[in-house]
Amino acid sequence: MTERSYTRSIARIHQGRGYTIVELMMAIAVFAIGVSGIIAMQKVAAAANQHSRALSLATNIAQAWQDQLTADSSLFTRKSNNTIWLSLLGNANQVGWLRPIWNDNLQFGAAFDALGNPINDANLVNAQFCVHLRLTRVYLNSTSPGIEVIRTEVRVIWPRTEGTIVTNFCDAPGTNVPIIGDTQSINYHSLYQVSAVRQQ
């Protein structure tokens, strides 16, 4: 056998051997890096989707509360203030943030579940969103009674998934109560809507 034919036969043997272990390990490493990037991207996308869904629900809840206050203003007349929610303002000029209590007639209150449905105060364990109101009398004409304007602020809070979640975070009804969103904002998201209603 000549040297040339020997070299050809060795080359044929090397061509039929396939991949070496080093080549396989490099391919696996490149594949693992790519897969870990995809997994990290999916985690970020899932968290963003969850937050946008919660933000959309909170916006709908705040708008529902503004609608309740607007409907309530139809009972706010020159002769009487037989309102359900606006009467929380009372005779004072301004109150702090307050958490309204559940109203059986309207089936509406401060707590809402993960789907945005109202929850009565007996089932606050299931609350995912909590509403606080702040009512401020911004215009009162003493010479012309009946021209009164109230600023209505609605705040919706819900726990951050990455923060510490306090059980029953929506269980403090009443006026001028310390709101957990003020002191522990690092653990809660919040959304605000502001409007005004006028005496009829």
Model pLDDT for residues 179-189, shown as the tens digit of each residue: 554 556 677 88
Predicted TM-score (pTM) of the model is 0.73
Q: For residue 16, is pLDDT > 70?
A: no
Three-class SS of the chain: CCHHHHHHHHHHHHHCCCCCHHHHHHHHHHHHHHHHHHHHHHHHHHHHHHHHHHHHHHHHHHHHHHHHHHHHHHHECCCCECCCCHHHHCCCCECCCEECCCECCCCECCEECCCCCEECHHHHHHCCEEEEEEEEEEEECCCCCCCEEEEEEEEEEEECCCCCCCCCCCCCCECCCCCHHHHCHHHEEEEEEEEEEECC
Q: For residue 22, is pLDDT > 90?
A: no
